[in-house]
């Protein structure tokens, strides 16, 4: 299947199955970030069934990679199966474990980080991978409108520490209901 067909099938199943995916509206913002920054090494914190990872991996070339961290072995198995269906398994690595324990063990460097696991832990996630970022690395945080108060320490840090140039981007609801949500896009200075 084409990646877009797998994305469409996850989108149609997600509301019924309760999969908390970024969805098509904010997914388009992720696409924009990838087109603008052309990251070759991406870290995703919170993968669920692989929707956002497929969305990002389909833009990558051979040898480029998304490293996915997901706490649930059962959900990670669904993600792996979706990666195989979408033909992107060669561009995705899955690490199963609690991001708070996994991130400090990672090496290498990342051009992009996508934060989408436990909202109150975003700042801890960022601090534990900051040593792997470089000038120009871009960090995207999801759900900053719906979980704005839980993420206040994170948002204060990326907006006011002077270490990032940070912007808020809002999108309408994915399935025509609710208030929509937003992502924060922060570029390391
Ligand atoms: C919002 S979903 C991710 C959605 C995915 N990024 C997408 O848009 O397709 C959050 C995921 O984070 C996982 N998660 C929760 N706590 C975690 C932790 N401490 N470490 C890693 N993953 C975690 C959950 O199991 C869930 O699958």
* Residue 175: per-residue pLDDT: 80
- Expressed in angstroms and rounded, the spacing between residue 153 Cα and the centre of ligand 1 is 20
33-66: per-residue pLDDT in tens? 999 999 999 999 999 999 999 999 999 999 999 9
Reported confidence tier of residue 178, pLDDT bands at 50, 70, 90: confident
In whole angstroms, what is the distance from residue 1 CA to residue 118 CA?
31
Q: The tokens 């995705």 sit on which residue?
A: 92
Buried b (16+ CB within 10 A) or exposed e, 128-159: bbeebbeeebbbbbbbbbebbebbeebbebbe
pLDDT score recorded for residue 176: 73
User: For residue 39, what is the domain's CATH number?
Assistant: 3.40.50.150
Q: Is the CB–ligand 1 distance for residue 52 below 6 Å?
A: yes
Structurally, the chain folds into a number of domains equal to 1
Tokens of 148: 């704005």
pTM (two decimals):
0.98
- φ, ψ (nearest 5 deg) of residue 81: -65, -40
Residue 186 pairs in a beta bridge with: 139, 166
Q: How far is the CA of 57 from the centre of ligand 1 (A)?
A: 17
- pLDDT band, residue 179 (cuts 50/70/90): confident
The pick from 9, 33, 48 for probing ligand 1's pocket by mutation, whose C-beta has the most ligand atoms within 8 angstroms, reads 48
Residue 93 has pLDDT above 90, yes or no: yes
């Amino acid at each position: 299947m084409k990646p877009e067909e797998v994305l469409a099938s996850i989108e149609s199943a997600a509301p019924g199955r309760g999969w908390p995916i970024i969805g098509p509206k904010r997914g388009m913002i992720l696409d924009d970030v990838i087109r603008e920054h052309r990251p070759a090494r991406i870290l995703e914190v919170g993968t669920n069934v692989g929707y956002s990872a497929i969305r990002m991996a389909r833009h990558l070339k051979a040898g480029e990679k998304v490293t996915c961290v997901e706490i649930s072995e059962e959900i990670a198995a669904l993600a792996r199966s979706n990666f195989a269906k979408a033909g992107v398994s060669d561009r995705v690595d899955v690490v199963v474990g609690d991001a708070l324990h996994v991130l400090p063990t990672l090496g290498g460097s990342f051009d992009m980080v996508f934060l989408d696991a436990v909202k109150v832990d975003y700042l801890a996630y960022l601090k534990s991978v900051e040593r792997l970022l470089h000038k120009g690395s871009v960090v995207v945080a999801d759900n900053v409108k719906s979980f704005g108060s839980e993420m206040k320490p994170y948002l204060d840090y990326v907006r006011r520490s002077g270490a990032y140039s940070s912007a808020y981007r809002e999108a309408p609801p994915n399935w025509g209901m609710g208030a929509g949500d937003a992502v924060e896009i922060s570029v390391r200075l």
